[in-house]
Amino acid sequence: MSYHRALSRRTLLKLLRRLGPLKWRYVGICAIGIALAGIDMIPPRLVGNAINEMSSPPFDLLGVAKILGLWALVAFSGQALHGFQIAFASRTGERVLAKLREDLFAHLQKLSLRFFDRNHLGRLLAAFGSDLDSLRGLAIWGPNTVTSNLAFLIFSAAMIFTTDAHMFFAVVWLAPLMTLLNFAYGKRLSRSWQNLRRDAANVSANQAENITGARVVAAFNRQEENLVHFNELQDLNVHNHMEVSKQNGLFQPALQWVRFLGQAIVLLYGGYRVVTGQMQTGDLVAVTLYWEWFMMPATNFGAFFNELIVSSSGAERVLSVLDEKPEVVDVPGALDLPPLEGRVRAENVSFSYLPGQPVLKNVSFEIPAGTNVALVGATGSGKSTLLSLLARFYLPAEGRLFLDEKDTRLATSESLHQQMALVLQANFLFNGTINENLRYDRPLISEDEIHLAMRALGAHDRILSLKDGYETQVGEGGAGLSLGERQLICFARALLRNPRILLLDEATSALDPKMDYQVRQALRKLTKHRTTFIVTHRLRTAIEADLVLMMEQGRIVEQGPHDELIRRGGAYARLYNDSLQATKDVDTEPLFDAAPELLEAT
């Protein structure tokens, strides 16, 4: 995600549009703020009148009491109205944040995998966490801060003018000076906050990466090196915080000097006018209090500008995610696929993750329904990518894919995915129980169906042997289970969907030899009438497949049954013979069968 100028008009306009559905609530909040500013103009005038009453004999006790009573009434009314405004504004702001969080989550569900390929987990988590939290003050008080402080500025200036015009012209020239200070402060602070938010996101990303990869860190004993790198990032973060504090340390004293200068002018010039009889003492006190009201918006705008920069930086990242367009979307007029037989055809398919670096090149094949297909080849030859294209996680850069002679680009994603299931080598379970994970796609499925699927995979007894059986908590990402147990659950979850096309990407690699054998035996039955694509490095799987697709450098160089490819003596035969030789070199015995053709590659 890119980082632009912290205060962007485009960002603020887009954020304001997000506030649009609640605009009348914000209008009400701002109206209350303006009313409160007007109410706050009354006490200084009352104080001035009271002083004038007491300094002009004869002393009118009843008149002063009336003024004090009116003052108390005004103060009580203002506090009651302010309390209502706080509650009303808080409810409004929280509704905005909840809607933003909901929109962000819903949008992430729609984004294509390429987006997640190029964005760090830590930065995406920051969008949900600190970035959204940074908008809280703006969402609750932003519009009111602007309108109420402008009202304070205008009302207090007007009250100074109506109280004594000479005093107004004596201090009004300080307003452009405050504006200049605010502009200079904002410009410098904007750059500092831009750097701070960028480096803070890098710290979050590094934390997430190290937590996610904790096992690898421990295995390679990289704790010290990782700590050094983290501290380097943290030092940058601390430096940026100090830069922000430095800017605040320069601005706030400068603003206080302007306030002091105004106070000095009011007291000296006002005192002169009182002494010479041109002004009453109460009016001088009123002007002094109004000068404080006049300066308050300048201080508030400085703090608000600081908050606005923080909010805008967070808003840029939140809105940049919301602005992302999914690459894989249903075309206008896309049709639901009917129940598939399972025929699959690729026509000159090419694909690349990065421009100029093709991963698949002119891949073509035609698979009859119910065929068990093994994808074999060296790491990086494009096998897993081909599965991702079949699942429509990505779209081909060139060429087309057909299911039952229907172009997948013209089908709805929902109808396509409903008839497919995918099991990956890197299995993933959601936090919850085994039962909840098995019901992930079909929440209303019966216990009998679950147990039947697990028995077919030879896993039912293994799950029952756990302390809580099917109600066992799997932990985050399935950390509470073994790799094999996680993979069995992923297998069962896929099969419970009853897919017409099953995609397996090194799906048995985490299973022990005995369980691998049981699962393969089960899959022979469970995939009998399903089209199945299996990415594998195990020759045993390829031998048992109906069709083998041999891939090299993004191309299918050979295809056919195992026996036929062996007779040809091509790339597949060489891979097979090399694997047999490697097995013999390490003196590995066959696990379940003495026949050498059942040996697997190491």
Six-digit token pair at 511? Answer: 């299973």
Query: Residue 526: what pLDDT?
Result: 73
Calculate the alpha carbon distances from 566 to 371, 540, 557, 570, 571 in Å.
20, 14, 14, 7, 9
Q: Encoding tokens for residue 155?
A: 């009302």
Note the pLDDT of residue 186. Answer: 66
- Residue 370 contacts residue 342 (beta carbons within 8 Å): yes
Contacts of 321-327 with CB under 8 Å at 24 or more apart are 321/1, 321/104, 321/107, 321/108, 321/124, 321/127, 322/103, 322/104, 322/107, 324/107, 324/111, 324/115, 326/110, 326/111, 326/112, 326/115, 327/112, 327/114, 327/115, 327/394, 327/395
Q: What is the pLDDT of residue 224?
A: 83
State the Cα–Cα distance between residues 264 and 254, nearest whole angstrom: 15
Nearest to 470 by CA among 433, 496, 441: 433
Backbone angles phi, psi at 212, to 5 degrees: -60, -40
Residues of the chain where predicted confidence (pLDDT) is lower than 70: 1-9, 56, 59-60, 122, 186-187, 189-191, 193-194, 197, 302, 310, 507-512, 515, 581-602
Q: Where are the alpha helices (DSSP H) in 127-222?
A: 132-133, 136-163, 165-171, 174-212, 214-219
Give the Cα separation of 214 and 211 in Å (integer). 5
Helix (H, G, I), strand (E, B) or coil at 434: helix
pLDDT at 136: 79
List the domain boundaries for the chain.
9-323
pLDDT digits (tens, 9 = 90+) for 150-171: 998 899 999 999 998 998 888 8
Q: Tell me: the pLDDT tens digits for 234-289?
A: 888 888 778 777 777 777 777 778 878 888 898 898 888 888 888 888 888 989 88
Cα(579)–Cα(572) distance, rounded to whole angstroms? 10
Tokens of 411: 């089908």
Quote the pTM value. Answer: 0.69
Kindly give, in sequence order, each residue whose CB lies less than 8 Å from that of residue 83, ignoring residues fewer than 6 positions away: none
- Closest Cα to residue 175, out of 82, 291, 270? 291
The CATH homologous superfamily of the domain defined by 9-323: ABC transporter type 1, transmembrane domain (1.20.1560.10)
pLDDT at 509: 65
The count of C-alpha atoms lying within 13 angstroms of the C-alpha of 276, restricted to the half-sphere facing its C-beta, is 7
| pLDDT score of 175 | 79
d(CA 250, CA 306): 13
DSSP state of 127: I
| Radius of gyration of the chain from its Cα atoms, rounded to whole angstroms | 36
Alpha carbon distance 121, 367 (integer Å): 37
Segment 32-36 long-range contacts (CB within 8 Å, at least 24 positions apart): 32/81, 32/84, 32/85, 32/88, 32/144, 33/85, 33/144, 33/147, 33/148, 33/151, 34/147, 34/148, 34/151, 35/81, 36/78, 36/81, 36/82, 36/85, 36/148
CA separation (Å) from 409 to 328, 337, 421, 575? 9, 11, 18, 35
H helices of 213-222, where? 214-219
